[in-house]
A and B are shown apart, each in its own frame.
Chain A
Amino acid sequence: MDPAPLDGNSLAGPLAGLFATDVTLVTGRCAHCGDVSVLAACVVYRHPMGAVARCRACTAVLLVVVEHPAGTRVGMPGLAWWQGPAGSTRTGAVGD
């Protein structure tokens, strides 16, 4: 049996080096079906090469995260947009 998927909470660590705010609270819209949800709620499959985040509604691939020693690479093949949590338009420190 294939391992059961995780969810977007598990992407907090892999994405922590890229963004100043906690990314799991970011809201995204699936470019395929239009579902809007926080990243924490997407379905995540961990592979040896990296993590693949899929839409909770239609399973389209939203995001691919690969942690390289040279730096973390994020592909976003399936996100129409990404919106920060409230307060993320301020400059400087964000949230708490």
Chain B
Amino acid sequence: MSSWHAAQVVRTEPLAASARVLTLAVPGFAGALAGQHVDVRLTAPDGYQAVRSYSLARVGRDEVVELAVDEVRGGEVSPYLVHEARPGDRMEVRGPLGGYFVWRPHDGGAVQLVAGGSGIVPLAAMARARAAAPTSDAPFRLLAAVRTPADAFFAKELDSTEGLTTTWLYSREAPPASTRPPGRLTLDDVTAHAFAPDVGARVYVCGPTGFVEAAAALLVDAGHDAARIRTERFGGV
């Protein structure tokens, strides 16, 4: 798990306004848990290397890594992954990584997922793992904050995943039918759509650092036990 694996892009698919799914073939990559990530290393012809972390969008198949990458304008790595990488391109992958921000099918109990932007990726992997585990009847809820409807990742699938209730919250532009004015996540959103604190749900919050900190604080304000909230920060300015 510690060494770099050779990886090759086998497929790319458009996902959202500025995002796409990349599927990599990675011999030797095995045993990933939902919520884990990999480190991706790119090497330029002159030897310059860049390493970034990306969450696994789906687990369950060894030797295959599925990523969902959103473009950060002006970034070093993500514009390449979203616009340029194509089947046959080579890179390196280290992982699967992380044992804290994970959900295991035998964990049991209600699960509240809270995503900002591309932070939905490891949470989608958890919802997919739950749907794929025939024994799991844990109720899942997802609160997903996105800029506009065009920025929602996996929307069709997450709106119809067995056992999962998804609420999309738009920060810049909402669909015409929406009654909630566009804006940041609020305490009202949390109390209206998340599990009540007395359900004792396990809570996973992921996204840009500012979003994660604001959302975790709102969950605590709403009465959730801080000890049951797990967070993963993606960075940002």
Chain A interface residues (CB < 8 Å from chain B): 1-10, 12-13, 16-18, 21-22, 24-25, 38, 40-41, 85, 95
Number of A-B contacts (CB under 8 A): 69
On whether the beta carbons of B209 and A6 are closer than 8 Å, the reply is yes
On whether the beta carbons of B235 and A3 are closer than 8 Å, the reply is yes
Interface string of B86-120 (1 = CB under 8 A from A): 00000000110111110000000000000000000
Interface string of B6-47 (1 = CB under 8 A from A): 000000000000000000000000000000011100000000
Tell me whether B1 is interfacial, beta carbon within 8 Å. yes
Known: A13-B53, A22-B98, A22-B99. A3 touches B2 (CB 8 A): no
Please, how many angstroms separate the alpha-carbon atoms of A24 and B2 in the complex? 14
Most buried by B among A4, A21, A24, A41: A4
Q: Which residues of A contact B237 (CB under 8 A)?
A: 1-4
Known: A12-B97, A16-B97, A38-B100. A7 touches B231 (CB 8 A): yes
Known: A22-B98, A95-B99. A12 touches B209 (CB 8 A): no
Instruction: Enumerate 22 A-B pairs (CB-CB under 8 Å) in ascending A order.
Output: A2-B237, A3-B235, A4-B235, A5-B209, A5-B235, A6-B234, A7-B232, A9-B37, A10-B233, A12-B37, A12-B97, A13-B51, A13-B95, A16-B2, A18-B2, A21-B99, A22-B97, A22-B99, A24-B100, A40-B100, A41-B100, A95-B99
